[in-house]
Structure formats: structure tokens, C-alpha cells
């Protein structure tokens, strides 16, 4: 699968990524098992960019369940809607915990 440079970084990501909203059971995702199957299928297909957010309910937790064994295969991105420095740091720590990568 063709990759492109992510912004100004040296990270190479696939043109196709996986968004986190449908990976949350409360935002369109069917159930945890189906969500994990989707994540595994995306990684098996070669997609290496997964985007989520702290506000996507259990999206980070569901992604983290797969990252326990496949973390090195992709680049994860998450967002915070908080604006204070300390608040954003709290969100980063929580995201790393939920994504099982920190």
C-alpha cells in the first residue's frame, strides 16, 4: 500500500487511515468484538494510521485492546479538546493508558 509523509514529520503513513468514531460502541461501533475484528483487518490489509480522540467515548479503549499485541504496526493519533497545558498533558497520559501504549 502506498505511503506518504505525515505532515512535517519523518513518519510514513498509508493514504488510507482508520478513524476512531466508528470504533466506539456509543458512536456507531457495533460491539467490542466486531470493532477488534475491524482493527485487525485494517492492520492485516496494511493500513498503518489510526486516528481517535479523547471524546470518542470508548474508542481509545477498544483500539488499546488490539494495540496490546500489534502496537508496532501502526501510528496512533489522538486529539484533546482541552486547551490548558496541564489539561492537555492529563489527556495525553489518559490516552496513552487507554491505548495501552504508555
Q: Would you please indicate which residues are annotated as catalytic (active-site) residues?
A: 56
Give the three cell numbers for residue 90: 492529563
Q: What is the DSSP letter of 22?
A: G
Complete DSSP assignment for 50-61? EE--TTSTTHHH
Q: Is 49 helix (H, G, I), strand (E, B) or coil?
A: strand
Residue 29's closest CA among 59, 68, 74? 59
The answer to whether the beta carbons of residues 53 and 81 sit under 8 Å apart is yes
Amino acid at each position: 500500500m502506498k505511503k506518504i509523509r505525515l505532515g512535517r514529520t519523518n513518519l510514513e503513513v498509508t493514504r488510507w487511515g482508520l478513524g476512531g468514531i466508528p470504533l466506539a460502541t456509543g458512536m456507531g461501533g457495533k460491539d467490542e468484538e466486531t470493532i477488534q475484528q475491524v482493527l485487525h483487518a485494517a492492520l492485516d490489509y496494511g493500513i498503518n494510521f489510526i486516528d481517535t480522540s479523547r471524546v470518542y467515548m470508548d474508542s481509545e479503549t477498544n483500539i488499546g485492546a488490539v494495540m496490546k499485541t500489534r502496537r508496532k504496526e501502526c501510528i496512533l493519533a489522538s486529539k484533546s479538546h482541552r486547551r490548558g497545558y496541564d489539561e492537555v498533558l492529563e489527556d495525553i497520559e489518559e490516552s496513552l493508558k487507554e491505548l495501552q501504549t504508555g
